[in-house]
Chain A
């Protein structure tokens, strides 16, 4: 490692070269790079959905409203649903809702997981013990059934859906971060920081968390597909995103009754969900490899 000497003398360069190394490793994973590009495109589509959609997703095209879905035409790329609403526009808006729910839920679960994991790992002792038992409770809950119960009986909004998915899936992050901080705490640089009188909060925020960033980023990336699948499964069972909103899972539920006659009704949203989940998984895979120093050459 000839670069060590350089980075030691020039600490400001270290951060940059570290990220450059990660980027170099990430670039080798071709599918991950392609997926990352695709993800950016999907995110842009979701953000600029209003500009992209050719029709109002709830507007009824009288010429197509024949009580059953109409196949794709030049006017309606993905056909229309049974009310004569443009399916392409609905899919774009559905993509936005699904991505929004999933990403928000993951942000929320990362926040909860980071706080619990960092506190447990940093303080140790009975605090750690209590928090880990608390984590065990959440790990032993049949979370999908609980989601079904809550959204089935309470009805619920997009906001509660985000909260619920987040509340039932922070445990992995908490455990990962706790383990990471427990091991980082024993390192010399933490001892050094403590010797010069760095406060506990500063130690966690500036020294421990940044060094534990890699596993958090990877698990966040891999949590998004999980959240999307959870949201769409719930919506598919009729208990997710409430009307009038339409998520990709909700579209799948509506499509069920047209299973025999209108294949595009379920092929379209299903393919989009699969594509999002797949790209996130590929990117997560690539990031995991890129962050793993053992794989660098």
Chain B
């Protein structure tokens, strides 16, 4: 098993390098260059000044030299400096990443807490009105665009009712500390976390339903019932344990859609996370930040896939990887 994990991690390296080359090339091929965004417009005609700005942004070398420098520095943990804020990229990321992890983690938790029971109830009450209602609701949840739900919730809960704040992570007017601060952040988190969790909740509940249905058809369930076990025990001890396997995998495989959701949700709700940092970096053509956000997202997606496969083996002893 550990050999398998090590091999997978080694396989991830060329994937990451390929992604970085691709994005680097795209940024290189882009028309114009970021110099125009970071210069004094009054001196735009002075070629010496422009060359100076370009050099300060590290854009004066040919592309392969820059890529080589970027790669070797990145491997040493130095992600360079943001064009826009002139602060270290690692510092910027360090400031934003925890917020994204907090939001994503809470959204994940909400999804699991809601999706699993819905799927289980749907499967146990198969082909009843309740099942149809829940399944249809799940499909609606998958179909409604994230940003639309976001606007809808904003409209109802923060504009009409005024219960929840619309943007940001902290109250702009008050400086809270301690417990009050936690409550304040939680209040700001309710809407974005709900929105971010919605798509996952809907699709996981569908998978949970079909996974449980499949298990309920197995012979060992019939055996368990034939032994005269109570239905509760059959479901909880025999069926559910096996029906949870696909879900564990699914959580790992949902990482890309959570990453995508983070870009949209954080932008709408002004959540100071990595997704919003990435979107802002594109607007400001802040190449070092764009590269960093890309690489981190890519790494997270690869790790999600790996976790899915490991979890698969871990919960199902019948599966073995070479």
Contact = CB atoms under 8 A, between A and B. Distances in A.
Interface of A: 31, 133, 136-137, 139-146, 148-150, 152-154, 225, 229, 232-233, 236-237, 239, 249, 252, 255-256, 259-260, 263, 266, 270, 273-274, 277-278, 281-282, 285
Contact of B154 (A144, A146, A259, A278): A259
B139 A233 contact: no
Nearest to A277: B143
B239 interface: no
Given A145-B297, A146-B26, A237-B267, 13 more contacts: A136-B15, A137-B15, A137-B19, A140-B301, A148-B279, A149-B282, A152-B282, A153-B27, A259-B154, A270-B148, A273-B148, A277-B145, A278-B144
Contacts of B278: 145, 148
Contacts, number: 122
Contact of B142 (A136, A149, A270, A281): A281
Question: When A and B form their complex, which 9 residue pairs have the shortest distance between CB atoms, in order from nearest?
Answer: A142-B297, A270-B148, A278-B143, A144-B260, A277-B143, A152-B282, A153-B30, A140-B15, A137-B18
A274 B301 contact: no
Interface residues of B, number: 47
A233 B268 CA distance: 11
B271 to A, nearest CB: 14
B290 interface: yes
A210 B148 CA distance: 39
A278 B282 CA distance: 32
Given A153-B30, A281-B143, A144 B259 contact: yes
Task: Specify which of B140, B145, B146 lies most central, judged by the most chain A CB atoms within 10 Å of its CB.
Answer: B145
Contacts of B5: none
B22 interface: yes
A281 B27 CA distance: 36
Contacts of A263: 155
27 contacts: A137-B19, A140-B15, A140-B16, A141-B19, A141-B22, A142-B259, A142-B298, A146-B26, A146-B294, A149-B26, A149-B294, A153-B27, A153-B30, A153-B31, A233-B146, A233-B147, A236-B264, A237-B263, A237-B267, A249-B145, A252-B148, A259-B151, A270-B151, A274-B148, A277-B143, A277-B145, A278-B140
B293 to A, nearest CB: 7
B72 interface: no
B145 A229 contact: yes
Contact of A154 (B19, B31, B294): B31
B293 A154 contact: no
A31 B132 CA distance: 11
Contacts of B221: none
Contacts of A143: 256, 260
B231 interface: no
A146 B152 CA distance: 27
Contacts of B16: 140
Contacts of A137: 15, 18-19
Classify the secondary structure of B's interface with A. helix
B211 to A, nearest CB: 16
Interface string B141-165: 0111111100110110001000000
Interface of B: 11-12, 14-16, 18-19, 22-23, 26-27, 30-31, 136, 139-140, 142-148, 151-152, 154-155, 159, 256, 259-260, 263-264, 267, 278-279, 282-283, 285, 290, 293-294, 297-298, 301-302, 305
Nearest to B301: A140
B282 to A, nearest CB: 4
A144 B263 contact: yes
A247 to B, nearest CB: 12
B285 to A, nearest CB: 7
Nearest to B297: A142
Contacts of B285: 153
Given A146-B294, A233-B146, A31 B263 contact: no
B263 A149 contact: no
A140 B159 contact: no
A149 B148 contact: no
Given A148-B263, A266-B151, A260 B144 contact: no
